[in-house]
Amino acid sequence: MSHDHVISAKSLSRADIETVLDRAAEIDRTPPDRDRHADDLLALCFFEPSTRTHMSFETAIKRLGGDALDMGPVESSSATKGESLADTVRVVEGYADALVLRHPSEGAAQMASEFVDIPLINAGDGAGQHPTQTLLDLYTMREAAGSLSDLTVGIMGDLKYGRTVHSLAYALTKFDARQHFVSPESLSLPRSVRYDLHESGARLKEHTDLDAVIEELDVLYVTRIQRERFPDENEYRQIAGEYRIDAATLEDAREECVVMHPLPRVDEIAPDVDATQHAHYFEQAHNAVPVRMALLDLLLAEDDR
Ligand code: NCD
């Protein structure tokens, strides 16, 4: 890895990504020695709810032989006393060998990383980035489709506030994928992300209707409408439920089309999709463990040198 901190998919090169995915595949085939990182402690600082990301990072460090130090719920942390994030991470740096941060403010991980020397991993900063989700998304796509080259990917739902979308779009651009973004106009890609994608030569099209592209897709990546980031509850209610797929929607899809979702899902994917050959979202969630193990293994090994 050429970066100690993992903040944005924008700064992960194709080679960095391939290194992590190859290591994850190795780990999947042959689990590493249980004492490989026996002396390593991973701090988990989550200022926003999480099930998968939190638990899979904890599983990953434990399966590498290390341990997790959990800050615990934000209500019982010193943040409630008014401590700044910069001070919190400077303190935690003295306890742990690497730090995973989730925070509701976009840019929080970048800012915090400027205060610490241990590797800091962004596990989601508001509507910003979620680069490790992208690594496991790409791993899932590579396992299902055989390769990351020549993919046609549809990304549907909350493209405005969905940080998994922003990270994934940057990474897919590095693999020269064709990207179709499907959303209501009010939830289309933020201007800054669209600009970055165009600047880096992305092959992208934007649509308001899935029907226009479903037949072409190798992957359909569905996302949740991010209720917690909507400034206006009424606007949320109007839109939620509009971009929903079920087994009937997928009748027009290619047989090999892989349906993914970072989870949690609310209503975006009907339960009748779960039993189809398209459903890959639970496998995707499970891939979080080997992929986060691979990333931690690489970051912590570098740190030991
Ligand atoms: C996502 C997140 O937190 O950004 N979940 C995850 O990490 N698997 C997506 C979401 O919350 O909708």
The predicted-structure confidence for 225-246, as pLDDT tens digits, reads as follows 988 888 888 888 888 777 899 9
- Nearest-CA residue for ligand 1 atom 11 is 264
Q: Is 142 annotated as a binding residue?
A: no
pLDDT exceeds cutoff 50 at 61: yes
Q: Is 180 annotated as a binding residue?
A: no
Three-state SS string over the chain comes to CCCCCECCHHHCCHHHHHHHHHHHHHHHHCCCCCCCCCCCEEEEEECCCCCHHHHHHHHHHHHCCCEEEECCCHHHCHHHHCCCHHHHHHHHHCCCCEEEEEECCCCHHHHHHCCCCCCEEEEEECCCCCHHHHHHHHHHHHHHHCCCCCCEEEEECCCCCCHHHHHHHHHHHHCCCEEEEECCHHHCCCHHHHHHHHHCCCEEEEECCHHHCHHHCCEEEECCCCHHHCCCHHHHHHHCCCCCECCCHHHHCCCCCEEECCCCCCCCECHHHCCCCCECHHHHHHCHHHHHHHHHHHHHHHHHC
Confidence (pLDDT) at 303: 55
Q: Give the tens place of pLDDT for each residue, 141-176.
A: 999 999 999 999 999 999 999 999 999 999 999 999
* pLDDT band for position 119 (cuts 50, 70, 90): very high
Q: What angle, 0 to 180 degrees and rounded to 10, lies between the N-to-C axes of helices 14-29 and 131-145? A: 70
Q: Is 263 annotated as a binding residue?
A: yes
Counting from 1 in the atom list of ligand 1, the atom nearest the Cα of 123 is 7
Confidence (pLDDT) at 98: 98
Please, what are the domains in the chain?
5-129+287-300 (3.40.50.1370), 132-285 (3.40.50.1370)
Confidence (pLDDT) at 77: 83
Among residues 53, 88, 132, 173, the one annotated as catalytic is 53
Residue 50 and residue 18 in contact, taking contact as beta carbons nearer than 8 Å: no
Among residues 10, 130, 166, 261, the one annotated as catalytic is 130
Confidence (pLDDT) at 69: 98
Q: Is 163 annotated as a binding residue?
A: yes
The position carrying tokens 């700064």 is 11
For ligand 1, say whether the CB of 157 is within 6 Å of any of its atoms.
no
pLDDT exceeds cutoff 80 at 1: no
Confidence (pLDDT) at 2: 45
For ligand 1, say whether the CB of 224 is within 6 Å of any of its atoms.
yes
Separation of 161 CA from ligand 1 center, angstroms? Answer: 11
pLDDT exceeds cutoff 50 at 118: yes
Distance CA 11, CA 111 (A): 15
* pLDDT band for position 302 (cuts 50, 70, 90): low
Q: What is the mean pLDDT of the chain?
A: 95
Confidence (pLDDT) at 185: 93
* pLDDT band for position 112 (cuts 50, 70, 90): very high
* Main-chain dihedrals φ then ψ at residue 122, nearest 5 degrees: -80, 115
Residue 272 and residue 246 in contact, taking contact as beta carbons nearer than 8 Å: yes
Better-predicted residue by pLDDT, 175 or 3 = 175
Among residues 5, 37, 102, 244, the one annotated as catalytic is 102
Pairing of strands 219-222, 258-260: parallel
Average pLDDT over residues 189-212: 97
174 is catalytic: no
Confidence (pLDDT) at 227: 86
Confidence (pLDDT) at 80: 82
102 is catalytic: yes
pLDDT exceeds cutoff 70 at 305: no
